[in-house]
Amino acid sequence: MTMKLSVIVIEYHSIEEIRPCKDALQRCCDGIQCELIVSSNSCYPEDQQKKLQADFPDIHWQFNSKNGGFAYGMNRGLEVASGDFLLISNPDVRIQCQLRPALEYIASHPKVGAVGPRIIDEKGCIQDSCRNFMRPWDMLKRQLTRFFTSRDVLLDKQCDYASIHPVDWVIGAFILLEREVYEKVGGLDENYFLYVEDMDWNYRIHRAGYEVHYFPELVIQYKGDRKSTRTIFHDKKLISHYGWLHFKSYCRFLYKWGLFFTHE
């Protein structure tokens, strides 16, 4: 059976990441038909857009009229995607395995609405790719733990990172789903400029009656910059600009779904 996959990569002044991202993707598409869509929020001038199209003729470029944020950029790419399966990805993701087994897993499990990968960094260390939905007290605990331990990666001690299992949500750096799920749930909520839009999307997938699964056979190399967890004491600020964006987005999630939200 021919499987058609559309990969939507967000781009914001990160052209240097596109070629290695594309090359890694092409090595992992045996047995599937794959289109790569780069949705750019960089607002490049027209001459630069034409140069990029000439330099990367096998990429579908979606040049957006503004930097409307992560969800906005991803949605512009999703709108033009033609695949039966849809994959959203950050540009600095490097896929490490064949993608067909993950597509076959979703296709053979109708209740699975989306899957997320096992994420490793350049040294092969596991990253926190799947999480529980964060109630306010969970969010506070997570941020305090990061602050006092100076740890970027907080693995869930109750999570088996070696086995396939249902989870609350997987991070937006890499989410794979079927078109049917996208058409039922819709795209990401563009009212989030940056952060939490992925948790919101996963939450809506649950509310639509699907499960989200962690799928460790799907392996990517990725190291998030964790900008939202950094403090800037030399500027006499307790919270960084990105931390403030994260806080605002989380408050929006609570306003949208309620303080004691549940998907049961």
For the chain, percent of residues with pLDDT exceeding 90: 76
Segment 116-169, tens digit of pLDDT? 999 999 999 999 889 899 888 777 776 666 666 666 666 777 789 999 999 999
For the chain, list the domains and their CATH numbers.
3-257 (3.90.550.10)
C-alpha torsion sign, points 12, 15, 20, 22: positive
From the number of C-beta atoms within 10 Å of its C-beta (0-12, 13-18, 19+), residue 12 rates as middle
Cα–Cα distance for residue pair 226/150, rounded to 1 Å: 11
pLDDT of residue 230: 46
The Cα 123–Cα 128 span in angstroms is 15
Contact indicator for 89, 21 with CB cutoff of 8 Å: yes
What's the rounded Cα separation, in Å, for the pair 190 and 77?
13
Give dist(CA 39, CA 18) in Å, integer.
11
Q: What are phi and psi of 152, to 5 degrees?
A: -80, -40
Weakest mean pLDDT among 6-15, 75-84, 153-162, 229-238: 229-238
* pLDDT reported for residue 96: 98
**Alpha-carbon Rg of the chain, whole angstroms?**
18
Residue 215: is its pLDDT beyond 80? yes
Where is average pLDDT lowest: 55-59, 132-136, 182-186, 238-242? Answer: 238-242
pLDDT in tens, 220-251: 999 865 454 444 333 444 567 888 898 999 99
Report the run of H or E that residue 22 belongs to, with start and end. Answer: helix 18-26
